[in-house]
């Protein structure tokens, strides 16, 4: 009798597609996730490739570039596929190089005028097509994906393109923000000679346009979004941006998996950007105080603005309607009238909000400090130096900053929505007593509700024992990606294949 052969289980091959990834190129939380999640997936033993458009900034930062080959996309267009490496990633990076679409300076989605690049439909349709063909090993490189993981509208057409291939791998589509869906019109659809079947109510047609977001929802095997609460919210008209009915219809394949954070990049005991390292011990208050002084100095605050007994309320984020920044601006004058509080605000975005921030800084030069722009270092310094973090988002699929705040002992004051509701435990008599309180939540998307929650936080801030307890409960929270990566793994393994069987 022959010996039974050991079966060697090959790791699943996952092609992870995104339109940005920190530290190569980042505009928001998607960039953070597209860095940490592929790394976490590699840690749990998967064979991962991260594929990105070959933007100029990415080409500058990636090392050991080599050409893997060319993939024809039709109409005489070829995508050159590059492979490169970067110290922040544990896997090879694949870049889709179509020079006239991606080799340009600046923001991946918008031109210098702040408007979307007019050729975004072509850019991300072709990127998605190349991703699907890479997954099918059209390069003949001997690497065929078992699973493709696409993220947000920029890669929404990946599952649609996979649908056009003979034996499509499983496809997971993650919604990071339903409000941005990348629609384009029929003339553009026709000019690109896209598969006519997509233009259907059961396909990717959406109110007379083509919606890459809808394509992601319809053609994927699983839809995930970045928190359980947001997964429920987007099935309602209020948060569904026109997609609530479709999502309710696709409910059987919709899951909410909470994001994690990169606990190595965001660690107050080692962070290279901050003035003093600290942990949850009896030196916590001193550590925070040193960082508060450094933050105010970095933001140009006059020395007289520095008062040890004046707490700092911080904000970092895109200055857009979603983030409820106007609610914070509205609450500032009243809070300044009868508290000692200072505000530190870092962000960039819509002009109206940038103007408003400048006006507040001019009106209260010793109380409101800000930085208009994008600064990784300042974002870290703010998490460490602020006492309270304000996140009054109107909606928040997950949100990363409240998790950074928890880890940095900076209790968040947040609206009870999406991932904020799933990661922050409101301070109530019960949660303070059982030690689970980590921050403050409010419901109405109104400045009065935010102001009341900030006042609740300021009152508790005066009680060093309770405040220390709230800070440490947040700092001890498990925010790592490891467990969450396992949830994705379960989905990769259990997602129905093209034939519909369950594994
Ligand atoms: P969103 O993706 O909706 O913008 P998240 O909270 O998920 O919100 O992630 C935002 C990310 O972008 C965080 O890493 C945050 O620190 C960063 N960020 C946003 N604005 C700025 C800024 N002006 N400077 C530095 N980092 C910023
Ligand atoms: C989006 C969402 C944000 C989320 C991020 C990463 O940008 O607005 O809430 O944290 O994606 O998933």
DSSP class per residue in 210-229: E-HHHHHHHH-SEEEES-HH
pLDDT digits 0-9 by tens, 129-148: 999 999 999 999 899 999 99
**pLDDT at residue number 497:** 39
> Per the domain annotation, does 4 fall within a domain?
no
Q: Tell me 417's DSSP state.
A: S
Report which protein residue has its CA nearest ligand 2's atom 7. 29
Q: What CATH number does residue 315 fall under?
A: 3.40.50.2000
Q: In this structure, which ligand is nearest to the CA of 403? A: 1
Q: What is the number of the ligand 1 atom nearest to the C-alpha of 402?
A: 6
316 CB less than 6 Å from ligand 1? yes
Residue 337, H or E segment? helix 325-338
* Distances 381 to 189, 275, 386, 404, 435 between C-alpha atoms, Å: 46, 8, 8, 11, 27
Tokens standing for residue 212: 């890459």
241 CB less than 6 Å from ligand 1? no
CA 171 – ligand 1 centroid, Å: 27
CA 115 – ligand 2 centroid, Å: 21
Domain match, 297 and 158 both? no
Tokens standing for residue 402: 């409240």
> Per the domain annotation, does 414 fall within a domain?
yes
DSSP string across 256-298: E------TTTS-TTT-TTSSS---SSTTHHHHHHHHHHHHHHH
Helix axis angle, 482-494 to 29-43, nearest 10°: 80
**Which residue(s) pair with 209 in the sheet?**
206
As separate numbers, helices (DSSP H) first and strands (DSSP E) second, the chain gives 20, 17
CA 401 – ligand 1 centroid, Å: 7
Domain match, 359 and 461 both? yes
379 CB less than 6 Å from ligand 1? yes
Residues 6+ apart with CB under 8 A from 15: 48, 49, 51, 131, 134, 135, 145, 147, 148, 149, 169
Residue 421, H or E segment? helix 418-423
Tokens 């050159």 identify what position?
A: 80
> Per the domain annotation, does 7 fall within a domain?
no
Range of the domain at 204: 13-260+481-492
487 CB less than 6 Å from ligand 1? no
- The low-confidence residues of the chain, meaning pLDDT below 70, are 1-8, 495-503
Residue 105, sorted as left (phi over 0), alpha (psi -120 to 50) or beta, turns out to be beta
> Per the domain annotation, does 503 fall within a domain?
no
CA 168 – ligand 1 centroid, Å: 34
> Per the domain annotation, does 276 fall within a domain?
no
> Per the domain annotation, does 89 fall within a domain?
yes
Domain match, 488 and 461 both? no
CA 400 – ligand 1 centroid, Å: 7
CA 484 – ligand 2 centroid, Å: 15
Domain match, 221 and 292 both? no
Q: What is the number of the ligand 1 atom nearest to the C-alpha of 323?
A: 3
- In angstroms, the CA 150 to CA 308 distance is 47
CA 30 – ligand 1 centroid, Å: 9
Domain match, 58 and 108 both? yes
Domain match, 464 and 485 both? no
69 CB less than 6 Å from ligand 2? no
CA 397 – ligand 2 centroid, Å: 6
Distance of CA 7 to the CA centre of its chain: 39
DSSP string across 347-366: EEE-HHHHHHHHHHHHH-TT
> Per the domain annotation, does 499 fall within a domain?
no
> Per the domain annotation, does 269 fall within a domain?
no
- In angstroms, the CA 167 to CA 149 distance is 16
Report which protein residue has its CA nearest ligand 2's atom 11. 176
Q: In this structure, which ligand is nearest to the CA of 317? A: 1
Tokens 């009870």 identify what position?
A: 416
How many domains are contained in the chain? 2
Best mutation site among 259, 400, 405, 412 for ligand 1 pocket (most ligand atoms within 8 Å of CB): 400
Residue ranges of E strands in 420-459:
440-442
- In angstroms, the CA 306 to CA 66 distance is 53
477 CB less than 6 Å from ligand 1? no
Tokens standing for residue 23: 């530290």
Domain match, 366 and 298 both? yes
Tokens 């409240």 identify what position?
A: 402
pLDDT digits 0-9 by tens, 202-241: 999 999 999 999 999 999 999 999 999 999 999 999 999 9
Q: In this structure, which ligand is nearest to the CA of 151? A: 2
Instruction: Please choose, from the candidates 361, 364, 440, 348, the residue with its C-alpha nearest in 3D space to the C-alpha of residue 402.
Output: 440
Domain match, 303 and 210 both? no
Instruction: Please choose, from the candidates 84, 122, 83, the residue with its C-alpha nearest in 3D space to the C-alpha of residue 102.
Output: 122
Domain match, 180 and 320 both? no
348 CB less than 6 Å from ligand 1? yes
Instruction: Please choose, from the candidates 227, 219, 231, 174, the residue with its C-alpha nearest in 3D space to the C-alpha of residue 19.
Output: 174
Query: Taking a C-beta distance cutoff of 8 angstroms, is the pair 98, 126 a contact?
Result: yes
- In angstroms, the CA 415 to CA 308 distance is 28
24 CB less than 6 Å from ligand 2? no
28 CB less than 6 Å from ligand 2? yes
256 CB less than 6 Å from ligand 2? no
Q: What is the number of the ligand 1 atom nearest to the C-alpha of 376?
A: 25
DSSP string across 45-60: T-EEEEEEE--HHHHH
**pLDDT at residue number 306:** 84
Residue 5 burial class via C-beta count within 10 angstroms: exposed 0-12, middle 13-18, buried 19 and up: exposed
Domain match, 130 and 240 both? yes
Domain match, 428 and 317 both? yes
Domain match, 187 and 313 both? no
- Give 372-380 contacts, CB < 8 A, sequence gap 24+: 372/347, 372/348, 373/348, 374/348, 375/346, 376/273, 377/273, 378/298, 378/299, 378/316, 378/346, 379/316, 379/346, 380/266, 380/271, 380/273, 380/274
Q: What is the number of the ligand 2 atom nearest to the C-alpha of 393?
A: 9
Residue 52, sorted as left (phi over 0), alpha (psi -120 to 50) or beta, turns out to be beta
Q: Tell me 122's DSSP state.
A: H
CA 217 – ligand 2 centroid, Å: 17
Q: What is the number of the ligand 2 atom nearest to the C-alpha of 259?
A: 12
């Amino acid at each position: 009798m022959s010996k039974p052969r050991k079966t060697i289980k090959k790791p699943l091959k996952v092609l992870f597609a995104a339109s940005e990834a920190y530290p190569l190129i980042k505009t928001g939380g998607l960039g953070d996730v597209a860095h940490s999640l592929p790394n976490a997936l590699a840690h749990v033993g998967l064979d991962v490739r991260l594929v990105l458009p070959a933007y100029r900034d990415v080409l500058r930062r990636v090392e050991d570039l080599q050409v893997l080959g060319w993939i024809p996309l039709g109409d005489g267009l070829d995508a050159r596929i590059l492979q490169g490496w970067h110290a922040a990633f544990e896997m090879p990076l694949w870049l889709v190089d179509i020079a006239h679409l991606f080799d340009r300076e600046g923001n991946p989605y918008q031109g210098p005028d702040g408007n979307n690049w007019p050729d975004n439909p072509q850019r991300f349709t072709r990127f998605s097509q190349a991703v699907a063909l890479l997954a099918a090993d059209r390069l003949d490189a001997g690497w065929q994906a078992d699973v493709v993981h696409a993220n947000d509208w920029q890669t929404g057409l990946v599952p649609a393109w996979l649908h056009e291939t003979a034996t499509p791998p499983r496809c997971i589509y993650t919604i990071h923000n339903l409000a941005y869906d990348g629609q384009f019109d029929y003339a553009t659809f026709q000019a690109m000679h896209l598969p006519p079947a997509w233009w259907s109510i059961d396909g990717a047609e959406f109110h007379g346009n083509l919606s890459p977001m809808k394509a992601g929802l319809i053609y994927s095997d699983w839809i995930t979004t970045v928190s359980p609460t947001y997964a429920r919210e987007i099935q309602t008209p209020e948060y569904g941006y026109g997609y609530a009915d479709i999502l309710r219809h696709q409910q059987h394949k919709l899951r909410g998996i909470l994001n994690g954070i990169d606990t190595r990049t965001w660690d107050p005991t080692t962070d290279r950007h901050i003035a003093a390292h600290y942990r949850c011990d009896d030196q916590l208050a001193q550590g925070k105080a040193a960082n508060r002084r450094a933050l105010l100095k970095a933001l140009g605050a006059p020395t007289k603005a520095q008062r040890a007994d004046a707490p700092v309320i911080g904000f970092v984020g895109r200055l857009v309607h979603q983030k409820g920044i106007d609610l914070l601006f509205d609450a500032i004058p009243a809070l300044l009238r009868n508290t000692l509080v200072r505000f530190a605000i870092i962000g960039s975005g819509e002009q109206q909000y940038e103007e408003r921030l400048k006006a507040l800084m001019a009106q209260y030069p010793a109380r409101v400090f800000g930085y208009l722009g994008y600064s990784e270092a300042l974002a870290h310094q703010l998490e460490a130096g602020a006492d309270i973090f304000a996140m009054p988002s109107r909606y928040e699929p997950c949100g990363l900053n409240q998790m950074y705040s928890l880890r940095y002992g900076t209790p968040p004051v947040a609206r009870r929505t999406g991932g904020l509701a799933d990661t922050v435990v409101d301070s109530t008599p019960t949660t303070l007593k059982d030690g689970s309180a980590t921050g403050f939540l409010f419901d109405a998307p109104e400045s009065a509700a935010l102001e009341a929650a900030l006042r609740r936080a300021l009152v508790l801030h005066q009680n060093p024992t309770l405040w220390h307890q709230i800070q440490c409960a947040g700092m001890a929270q498990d925010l790592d990606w490891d467990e969450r990566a396992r949830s994705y793994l379960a989905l990769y393994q259990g997602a129905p294949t093209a034939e519909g069987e369950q594994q």
